[in-house]
Every structure is written in structure tokens, then in C-alpha cells.
Amino acid sequence: MGDLARVNTNVAALKAFFTLSQINDRIAISQRRISTGKKVNTASDDPATYFAIKKTRRDIAKLANKELNIERGVNWLETSSSKLDQVSEILLAMFTLANTANAGGVTSAEKQAIQTDISQLKAEVQLIMQSGVASAIYSGFTIGGLDNVSVSGAGGTAGTASLGQVLSNLTINSTDLVVTGTTTTTTITNLEAAINQVVKDNQAIGSYVRRLRFEIDDARSEKADLQSTLSTIQDADIAEEQLELTKLQILQQSALAMLSQANSAPQAVLVLFQ
């Protein structure tokens, strides 16, 4: 009768139980894969693949952070660019006023009014530069020169208000813009130079923004490639896992049936006591 005659240790039942335990472990793994959608959920599932997944996720996170930082940089530059657009428009208005003051037939009173208007525009430039343009782009938040300039000409001086230091010491990329003058003609020339400088600087900002947008596209493309790689090594094939689970569940029922038979088999020994 072999193993069946040894009642104290049911070898067949132990083997059936061992097989059932293995099947149950595989069912648990398959169920976890289906519920999470991942082939590897713990390091013990596949240590090498687990390491590759974590490394790829780290690289994706770095690219996502890079993309975010570049976008912030673009926003920072575009804010300054929009403010410089306003400054250039104000400088153009000042340029127009200076040309008006330089025209023949403009009275002293009219020139005084123009000077007041220019002074107000100057104050607005100062406000914009201080509140909207990053100091890393412009040092001192000012546009420079126009020191001690007043609108004057035949018929007397149109006021003594100075544009002062408010529009002075503009620098970008170590390039100084110094604009000074004491006559209306010089003021016109200097304002024209200031407009050209601001437009040139804004053009440079535009170039930086364009370059950064290419950097964003590159980061997004690389991140998409890494996400595709991550999906290949991490994501579970749900259809395949469901087929595996179905197979294991059938094997589980078979193992349970065999365990039941193995448990009842030693009862055959009772025939010897009849």
C-alpha cells in the first residue's frame, strides 16, 4: 500500500498542499498585476526590472522638472518683454513730443506743456522698469541718460524740469546706453537711440524665448520616449494576465480536489481492522 499505509504522515496530502500553496502565490501575484496594471510591483518580483523602472521614473521626473523650470523662465522673460514693449511705446510718445517742440511756431507755453508731459512719461517709464522688468535683464531699472535735458528753443526756455537720473544707466549684457543732451535736437536724437536700444534688447529677449521653446519641445519629446520605455518594462498585459489567472484558478480547484482525496485516502487502512 506504500504511503497509504503510513497514517501518521500523509505524504500525498503534504505534496498536494505544497502544490496548492504555490498556485495560491501565483494567483496573488496575477491578481496584484491586474489590479495595479503593473508587471513588477515589488523588488522581489524582478529585481533587475524593478531597478530599471525606478531609474526610468527618476529620469522622467527630472525632465518634467526641467520642462517646468523652462516654462517659468519663458514666462519670466515674456513678462519683461511685454513691459519693454510698453517702455518703447512711451519712448516713442516722448520722441513725438520732442519733435513737436522742435517745430517752428511752437510757443514757450506749449513747450512748457510738452516738458510737463515728458516728465510724466519719464515717471511712468521708471514705474514700469521697477515693477515689471527683471533686474537680471536691466540693472538699475532705468533707461539711461537724458540727463539734464529740457525742451528749449527760440522764444525762451520751456521750463527747467529735468528728466534727471530716472532715465539713466541702462545696461543689458554689459552694453551701456548713455543718452544726454541739452537742446531739443539732441533730445530727439537721444530718444531715438533709447528707442533703438530698448527694441534691440527686446529682440534679444525674443531670441532667448524662442530658444527656450525649442528646449521645451526637446524635453517633452525625450520625456515621451522615456514614458514609452517605462510602459514597455512596467505595464502588465491585462488580457494575458487574465488568461493566466483563469488557468491558475482552474489549477487551484484541481489541487483542492486532490488535497481532499489525499486526506481521505488513509481511511482505506481501516479495512484491515474489520
Residue pLDDT, tens place only, 70-85: 998 888 888 888 888 9
pLDDT given at position 178: 40
pLDDT given at position 193: 79
pTM for the predicted model, two decimal places: 0.62
Distance of alpha carbon 23 from alpha carbon 19, whole angstroms: 6
pLDDT given at position 2: 54
pLDDT given at position 274: 62
Grid cell in block for residue 71: 516654462
- Which region among 94-98, 103-107, 111-115 has the lowest average model confidence (pLDDT)? 103-107
Distance of alpha carbon 21 from alpha carbon 252, whole angstroms: 9
pLDDT given at position 267: 74
Percent above pLDDT 70 for the chain = 76
Residue 204 backbone dihedrals phi, psi, to 5 degrees = -65, -40
pLDDT given at position 121: 85
Domains of the chain: 81-224 (1.20.1330.10)
Q: Does residue 26 carry a pLDDT above 60?
A: yes
Q: DSSP labels for the chain?
A: -GGGG--SS-HHHHHHHHHHHHHHHHHHHHHHHHHH-BS--STTT-HHHHHHHHHHHHHHHHHHHHHHHHHHHHHHHHHHHHHHHHHHHHHHHHHHHHHHHTSTT--HHHHHHHHHHHHHHHHHHHHHHHHHS-TTTSGGG-----BT---EETTEE------TTTT--EEETTEEE--B-SSHHHHHHHHHHHHHHHHHHHHHHHHHHHHHHHHHHHHHHHHHHHHHHHHHHHB--HHHHHHHHHHHHHHHHHHHHHHHHHHHGGGGGGGGG-
pLDDT band at 1 (very low <50, low <70, confident <90, very high): low
pLDDT given at position 59: 94
